[in-house]
C-alpha cells in the first residue's frame, strides 16, 4: 500500500502532473505512457516533501526562520540553513511517509536482494536558474537498499535549503510556503554504454539531424564531462550517419559493489572502439523521433544501453532550450508570385 | 570581402607552359581558345567535370558549341541578371573556363526586368514549352538521321543524271558536313534552352533546404526532387526486359559472364526461332534506347551501347540469374515514389513554422515542375544526338581514310572541325579534277604528332585553377553547374600541398560500408574485368553503367556530384557509392583492397 499523496508510479503520471511530480518525474511518466523503454520507478511527490517540512515546521517553525533572514548576511544564512538541512536529513520522518517510501522501494525491487536505484531531484519550477541554485540537479547513482534510498531522498530535499537556494529565494522575497520538490527513484541500468542525444544539432540548430554522444559505462561520465564521448550525427529522417567521431575513451563510470559509482580505466582494447553499433544508433534514432513527435518540441535526452539485455533505454528527456529560444525569422515566406523565389539564385546579392 | 583574408591566387595562365614538344598540337586549337596575356587578369578553372581527359582537336567542338549556347541562353535569351556567359581556353588539351559576371548594380537591375519577362514566362509555361522542346528535339534527330550517307561514287549514279539533279555527289559531302555541324551547334542551343532555368529553380529549393536544415546532405535534397521515370533509366529498363525475354524464350543459357557480345549474338543466330525472336527484341530496344554512351558524350570514344554492345551485354548474365532466382527486376517505381513523398512530408513537418512550410511548398512545386527537363534532356542531347553526330563524323573519317588521308577512321577526330572541312574540300576537288588530293601527304604526320601530344598531356598534371580568385563567386551558372565556391577553392589551394593519405574524400552518394578489391576501370573496354563483388573505381559513373551495378560491391568515381544520376542509381541498387573524389583512379591501384563508406563519403586504402 502506498499513499497517492506521497508516491506516484511512472505509469500513473504524465507531464501535466508536473506540479506534483516535477519535470523529470512527469517526463518519465509521459515516456512510459507513450511506450518508450524507461527503467521502472516512482516519484516521491511534492506531497511527501510538504509532509516532511510541515512536521518540522510544527516543531521548529523553520519557514519563519528563513523568511526572517537577510540575504546579504552570509554568516546568518549559512548558520541557519546548516541547521535546517541537518533537520531535513536527520530528524525522524513521519511514520506513514517513511512506510510509504519503504514500501514503494520494496515493490520496485520486487524481492531482489540487491536492486540499485538512481535518486534524482525533480524540479517543479520552470526557472532553470532557480533549479540549479536549489540543487535540483542532484543525482545519486547506484543507491542500494531502502534505508540509503530514504537518506538520498532526504538529501535531495535538504538541497532546497542550501545557502545559494535560500539566498536566491530571499532576494526575490519568495514565500517559503511555495517551496516544493519531487524526487525520482528509478531502477538503475547497468549501462554498457550511455550518453546523451539532442534532436537538434547543438552546433547549427538543424532540426533534421540527431546528435548522439556516448561512452562506455554509466552516463554520468559523459554528463559530467569526465570523458570525451564518441559522437555521431544521424539524419533524423534518412538515418544517414553523416559524422562519426570515435574518441579515445580513457575512463568510464562503473558501479561500486558497496553502492555509488567509481571512475575506472577503460579496457585498452575498447578505448578507441565505437561504443554503439549502427543498429543501436538507428534504434536510438527511432526512439528520439518518437519522443520528439510526442512532445512536438526538440528534446535533450539521456539514454543507456543495458549491459545484460542490450536494450536501449531512455533515462531522461527534457525540452531543448538553446536553439528553440533563438528561432526568429522564418528562412523564407510564401511569395505572392511563387516564381519570385528564384530571384534568390538569379538576382544577385542585394 | 573579409579583410583578414589573404588575396588568393592560383598560378597565372601565362605561367602555364605548353608541354615541350607538343607546341604544334597546341597550336591546332583555334586561335580564340589560346590564352593571351590579358587572361592573367581573370580567374579560370579546369573543367574536369566535363572534360576530365585531354581533348582531341575535333572533340573540342563540344566545348565550343556548348559554351556558345550556354552564353546565349544566360546572357542574351533569358538575360540572367548577374552573369553573361562562359569563356573557354585550351592548353595542353585541357579546357579552362571563366565566367563573365555582371557586377554593376544598375546593370543588374536593368537585367532583372528583362529576366523576369523572359524566365518567368518559361516557368509559367514550362510544360507547354517542354512538350514543344521534345518535338523540336525529335525533329532535329530525324533530320540528322535523314542526312545522306557519306560516300563518293566513281561516277555520278545514273538516276541522279536522269532526274536532272544537276549537282554532283562531291557537293553533298560539304553540304552534309556543314549540316552535321550545324545540327550539333543547334542541338546545344536546345540543350540550354531550359537548363539554367531548371537548375536555378532546383537551386532555389536546394538553398532553402540548406538554410532550414544546415546539415542536410545534398543527396537528400536531390532525392526529394528527382523523378523516377526519366528517359535516362530506360536503357537499363530495356536490359532487364531483355533478360526476362531471354528466360521466357529459353535462350538464357546463351548468356555467360565474360563471353563477348559478338559470340553471344553468334550463338543466338544458331539458336533457332527462339534465338531469332530474342535478337528481334534486342533490335526494338536498340532504337532508340541503346543510343546511350558510356560517358557524358563529350568524347568521340565514349561509344554508345549500340556501337559497342559490351556494356549492355555485360549486364545480362547477372540479370538473367536474378530472374531465375525469382526476382522480377521491375523497378519499384511506386514504392520509390511513395518514399519520395514521405521524405518530402517528413522534412516539411520539421520546419519551424507554417510560414516556412508555405514557402517550402512553393519552391518544391517549382523544382518538381522543372526537373523532368533537367533529368530528361541528357538522353536526347548528350546521348542520342551526340552519338548520331560522332558517327556521322566517323563516316567522313571512313571515306577520307579510304582515300588515303588517314590510317584509320578514328584519325578524323584529330582534325579540328575547320580542318576537317578543308580536308573534305580537298577530297571534293580531287574527285572532280581527277588529280591527287594533298591530304594523304599532309595529315598522317600531323595526326601522329597530335596523338603523341594527347598521350603526353594525359600524363601531365594540370592545375585545377588559374589566376586570381575573385572575392565573391556569385555567378549562378558557375555555382550551379560546377559547384565552385570560394570556400571550395580554398580547399583546392591547400590540397595542392597535400600529403599522401590512405583516405580519399568525396561526396557521400549512397550509404553503406563495403570492403573489397578495387577494379580501376579507365575505359569501357575494361568493363569485362569486373567480377562479382569488386569495387568499381572509375573516372565518371554514368547512368549507362547501371548494368554492371548489380554485380559490383560499391562504386567510386573521380567526377560527379550529388545530383548525378549515378548517385540515384546506386541508391536504387542499395550500393555504397562515393563520387567526385577528384583523383581516386590515380590514387588507388588496381587490385588493392579498399573500404568504401558511402554514408561518410570516404574511401580508405587498406593495404
Interface contact B359-A238, CB threshold 8 A: no
Domains contained in chain A, CATH given: 7-187 (3.30.1490.20), 191-319 (3.30.470.20)
* Chain A 111-140, residues with CB within 8 Å of chain B CB atoms: none
The CATH number linked to B548 is 3.50.30.10
* Mean confidence (pLDDT) of chain A: 90
Does residue A3 have a pLDDT over 50? Answer: no
Cβ contact B153:B168 at 8 Å: no
SS3 B140: helix
Cα B325-B327-B330 angle, rounded to 5 deg? 155
The pLDDT tens digits for B298-353 are 899 988 999 989 888 988 998 999 999 998 888 788 888 899 999 999 999 999 89
SS3 B517: strand
Is residue B288 included in any domain, yes or no?
yes
* Mean confidence (pLDDT) of chain B: 89
Residues of A within 8 A of B124 (CB-CB) are 339
How many angstroms separate the CA atoms of B544 and A63, rounded?
81
Ramachandran sector of residue B467 (left: φ over 0; alpha: ψ -120 to 50; beta: rest): left
How many angstroms separate the CA atoms of B467 and B97, rounded?
11
Is residue B17 included in any domain, yes or no?
no
ipTM: 0.83
- The pLDDT > 70 percentage for chain B reads 93
> Counting beta carbons within 10 angstroms of the beta carbon of residue B49, is it exposed (0 to 12), middle (13 to 18) or buried (19 or more)?
buried
- Which one of B330, B351, B375 terminates a domain? B330
Cβ contact B242:B281 at 8 Å: yes
Does residue B580 have a pLDDT over 80? Answer: no
Whether the ω angle into residue B288 lies within 30 degrees of 0, i.e. cis, is yes
Between the ranges A131-145, A314-328, B75-89, where is the mean pLDDT highest?
B75-89
Does residue A184 have a pLDDT over 70? Answer: yes
The pLDDT tens digits for B105-152 are 999 999 999 999 999 999 999 999 999 999 999 999 999 999 999 999
**Chain B: nearest CA to A100, how far in angstroms?**
44
Cβ contact A20:A46 at 8 Å: yes
> Hey, what's the cell of B70?
550556354
Q: How many CB atoms lie within 10 A of CB B410?
A: 17
The pLDDT tens digits for B18-62 are 999 999 999 999 999 999 999 999 999 998 888 888 999 999 999
Cβ contact A158:A85 at 8 Å: yes
Question: B interface mutation test: which of A328, A342, A343, A349 has the most B CBs within 10 A?
Answer: A342
Is residue B23 included in any domain, yes or no?
no
Q: Please name the residue of chain B whose CA is at the shortest distance from the CA of residue A330.
A: B356
- The pLDDT > 90 percentage for chain A reads 68
Is residue B371 included in any domain, yes or no?
no
A205 touches chain B (CB under 8 A): yes
The pLDDT tens digits for B586-602 are 889 999 999 998 877 88
Cβ contact A159:A140 at 8 Å: no
Is residue B112 included in any domain, yes or no?
no
Is residue B261 included in any domain, yes or no?
yes
Q: What is the DSSP string of B335-377?
A: HHHHHHHHHHHHHHHHSS-HHHHHHHHHHHHHHHHHHHHHHHH
How many A×B Cβ pairs under 8 Å?
Answer: 129
Interface contact A333-B359, CB threshold 8 A: yes
Interface contact A235-B217, CB threshold 8 A: yes
pTM of the model: 0.84
How many angstroms separate the CA atoms of B113 and B133, rounded?
25
The H or E element that residue B451 is part of is helix B439-458
Domain that holds residue B550: 501-605
Residues of A within 8 A of B511 (CB-CB) are 240-241
- Which one of B282, B306, B330 terminates a domain? B330
Structural domains of chain B, count:
2
- Which one of B287, B302, B330 terminates a domain? B330
Going across the sheet that includes B503-505, the strands are: B503-505, B602-605, B593-597, B513-521, B535-540, B554-559, B577-579, B507-510
Is residue B490 included in any domain, yes or no?
no
**Chain A: nearest CA to B324, how far in angstroms?**
32
Cβ contact B108:B79 at 8 Å: no
Question: A interface mutation test: which of B75, B352, B511 has the most A CBs within 10 A?
Answer: B352
Is residue B575 included in any domain, yes or no?
yes
CA-to-CA separations, B443 to B85, B427, B580, in angstroms, rounded = 35, 13, 38
How many angstroms separate the CA atoms of A15 and A27, rounded?
5
CA-to-CA separations, B276 to B264, B314, B548, in angstroms, rounded = 12, 20, 25
Residue A184: alpha-carbon gap to chain centroid = 9
**Chain A: nearest CA to B335, how far in angstroms?**
16
Predicted confidence at residue B564, as pLDDT, reads 59
Interface contact A339-B123, CB threshold 8 A: yes
Amino acid at each position: 500500500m502506498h499513499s497517492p499523496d506521497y508516491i506516484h508510479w511512472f505509469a500513473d503520471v504524465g507531464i501535466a502532473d508536473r506540479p506534483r511530480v516535477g519535470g523529470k518525474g512527469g517526463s518519465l511518466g509521459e515516456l512510459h505512457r507513450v511506450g518508450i523503454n524507461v527503467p521502472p520507478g516512482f516519484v516521491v511527490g511534492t506531497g511527501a516533501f510538504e509532509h516532511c517540512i510541515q512536521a518540522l515546521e510544527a516543531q521548529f517553525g523553520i519557514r519563519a526562520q528563513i523568511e526572517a533572514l537577510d540575504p546579504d548576511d552570509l554568516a546568518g544564512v549559512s548558520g541557519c540553513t546548516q541547521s535546517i538541512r541537518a533537520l531535513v536529513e536527520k530528524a525522524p520522518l513521519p511514520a506513514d511517509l517513511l512506510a510509504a517510501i519503504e514500501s514503494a522501494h520494496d515493490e520496485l525491487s520486487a524481492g531482489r536482494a540487491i536492486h540499485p536505484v538512481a535518486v534524482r531531484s525533480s524540479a517543479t519550477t520552470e526557472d532553470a536558474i532557480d533549479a540549479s541554485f536549489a540543487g535540483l540537479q542532484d543525482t545519486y547513482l547506484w543507491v542500494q537498499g531502502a534505508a540509503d534510498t530514504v537518506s538520498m531522498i532526504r538529501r535531495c530535499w535538504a538541497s532546497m535549503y542550501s545557502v545559494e537556494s535560500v539566498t536566491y529565494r530571499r532576494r526575490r522575497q519568495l514565500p517559503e510556503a511555495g517551496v516544493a520538490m519531487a524526487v525520482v527513484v528509478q531502477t538503475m541500468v547497468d549501462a554498457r554504454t550511455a550518453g546523451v542525444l539532442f534532436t537538434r544539432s547543438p552546433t547549427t540548430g538543424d532540426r533534421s539531424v540527431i546528435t548522439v554522444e556516448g561512452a562506455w559505462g554509466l552516463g554520468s561520465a559523459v554528463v559530467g564531462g569526465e570523458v570525451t564521448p564518441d559522437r555521431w550525427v544521424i539524419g533524423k529522417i534518412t538515418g544517414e550517419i553523416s559524422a562519426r567521431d570515435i574518441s579515445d575513451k580513457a575512463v568510464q563510470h562503473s558501479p561500486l559493489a558497496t553502492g555509488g559509482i567509481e571512475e575506472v580505466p577503460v579496457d585498452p582494447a575498447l578505448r578507441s572502439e565505437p561504443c554503439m553499433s549502427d543498429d543501436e544508433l538507428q534504434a536510438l534514432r527511432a526512439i528520439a523521433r518518437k519522443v520528439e513527435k510526442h512532445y512536438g518540441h526538440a528534446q535533450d535526452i539521456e539514454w543507456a544501453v543495458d549491459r545484460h539485455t542490450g536494450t536501449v533505454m531512455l533515462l531522461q528527456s527534457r525540452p531543448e532550450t538553446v536553439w528553440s529560444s533563438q528561432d526568429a525569422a522564418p528562412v523564407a515566406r510564401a511569395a505572392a508570385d511563387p516564381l519570385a523565389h528564384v530571384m534568390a539564385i538569379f538576382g544577385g546579392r542585394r | 570581402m573579409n579583410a583578414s583574408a589573404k588575396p588568393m591566387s592560383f598560378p597565372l595562365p601565362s605561367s602555364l607552359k605548353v608541354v615541350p614538344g607538343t607546341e604544334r598540337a597546341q597550336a591546332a586549337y583555334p586561335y580564340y581558345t589560346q590564352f593571351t596575356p590579358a587572361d592573367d587578369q581573370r580567374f579560370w578553372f579546369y573543367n574536369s567535370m566535363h572534360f576530365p581527359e585531354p581533348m582531341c582537336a575535333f572533340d573540342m567542338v563540344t566545348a565550343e558549341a556548348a559554351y556558345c549556347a550556354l552564353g546565349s541562353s544566360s546572357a542574351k535569351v533569358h538575360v540572367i541578371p548577374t552573369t553573361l556567359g562562359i569563356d573557354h581556353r585550351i592548353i595542353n588539351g585541357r579546357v579552362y573556363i571563366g565566367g563573365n559576371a555582371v557586377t554593376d548594380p544598375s546593370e543588374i537591375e536593368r537585367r532583372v526586368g528583362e529576366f523576369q519577362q523572359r524566365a518567368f514566362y518559361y516557368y509559367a509555361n514550362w510544360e507547354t514549352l517542354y512538350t514543344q522542346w521534345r518535338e523540336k528535339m525529335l525533329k532535329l534527330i530525324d533530320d540528322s538521321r535523314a542526312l545522306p550517307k557519306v560516300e563518293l561514287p566513281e561516277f555520278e549514279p545514273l538516276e541522279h543524271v536522269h532526274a536532272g539533279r544537276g549537282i554532283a555527289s562531291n557537293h553533298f559531302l560539304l553540304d552534309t558536313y556543314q549540316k552535321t555541324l550545324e545540327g550539333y551547334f543547334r542541338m546545344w542551343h536546345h540543350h540550354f534552352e531550359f537548363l539554367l532555368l531548371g537548375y536555378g529553380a532546383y537551386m532555389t529549393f536546394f538553398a532553402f533546404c540548406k538554410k532550414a536544415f544546415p546539415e542536410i546532405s545534398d543527396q537528400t535534397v536531390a532525392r526529394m526532387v528527382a523523378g523516377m521515370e526519366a528517359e535516362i533509366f530506360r536503357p537499363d529498363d530495356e536490359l532487364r526486359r531483355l533478360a526476362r525475354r531471354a528466360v521466357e524464350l529459353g535462350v538464357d543459357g546463351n548468356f555467360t559472364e565474360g563471353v563477348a557480345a559478338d559470340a553471344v549474338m553468334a550463338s543466338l543466330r544458331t539458336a533457332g526461332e527462339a534465338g531469332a525472336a530474342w535478337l528481334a527484341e534486342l533490335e526494338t530496344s536498340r532504337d532508340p534506347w541503346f543510343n546511350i554512351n558510356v560517358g557524358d558524350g563529350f568524347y568521340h570514344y565514349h561509344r554508345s551501347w549500340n556501337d559497342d554492345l559490351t556494356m549492355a551485354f555485360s549486364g545480362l548474365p547477372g540479370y538473367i540469374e536474378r530472374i531465375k532466382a525469382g526476382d522480377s527486376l521491375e523497378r519499384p517505381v511506386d514504392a520509390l515514389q511513395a518514399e519520395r513523398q514521405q521524405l518530402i512530408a517528413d522534412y516539411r513537418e520539421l520546419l519551424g513554422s507554417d510560414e516556412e512550410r508555405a514557402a517550402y511548398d512553393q519552391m518544391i512545386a517549382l523544382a518538381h515542375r522543372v526537373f523532368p527537363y533537367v533529368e530528361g534532356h541528357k538522353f536526347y542531347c548528350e546521348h542520342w544526338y551526340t552519338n548520331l553526330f560522332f558517327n556521322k563524323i566517323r563516316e567522313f573519317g571512313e571515306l577520307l581514310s579510304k582515300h588515303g588521308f588517314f590510317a584509320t577512321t578514328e584519325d578524323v577526330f584529330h582534325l579540328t572541325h575547320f580542318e576537317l572541312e578543308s580536308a573534305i574540300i580537298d577530297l571534293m576537288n580531287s574527285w572532280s579534277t581527277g588529280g591527287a588530293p594533298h591530304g594523304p601527304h599532309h595529315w598522317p604526320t600531323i595526326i601522329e604528332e597530335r596523338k603523341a601530344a594527347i598521350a603526353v598531356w594525359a600524363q601531365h598534371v594540370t592545375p585545377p585553377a588559374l589566376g586570381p580568385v575573385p572575392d565573391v563567386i556569385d555567378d549562378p551558372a558557375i555555382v550551379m553547374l560546377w559547384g565552385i565556391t570560394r570556400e571550395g577553392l580554398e580547399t583546392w589551394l591547400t590540397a595542392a600541398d597535400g600529403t599522401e593519405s590512405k583516405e580519399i574524400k568525396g561526396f557521400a552518394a549512397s550509404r553503406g560500408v563495403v570492403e573489397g578489391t578495387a577494379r580501376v576501370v579507365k575505359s569501357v573496354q575494361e568493363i569485362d574485368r569486373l567480377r562479382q563483388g569488386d569495387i568499381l573505381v572509375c573516372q565518371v559513373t554514368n547512368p549507362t553503367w547501371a548494368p554492371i551495378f548489380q554485380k559490383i560491391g560499391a562504386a567510386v568515381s573521380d567526377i560527379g556530384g550529388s545530383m548525378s544520376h549515378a548517385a540515384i542509381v546506386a541508391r536504387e541498387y542499395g550500393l555504397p557509392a562515393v563520387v567526385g573524389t577528384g583523383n581516386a583512379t590515380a590514387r588507388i591501384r588496381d587490385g588493392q583492397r579498399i573500404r568504401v563508406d558511402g554514408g561518410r563519403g570516404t574511401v580508405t586504402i587498406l593495404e
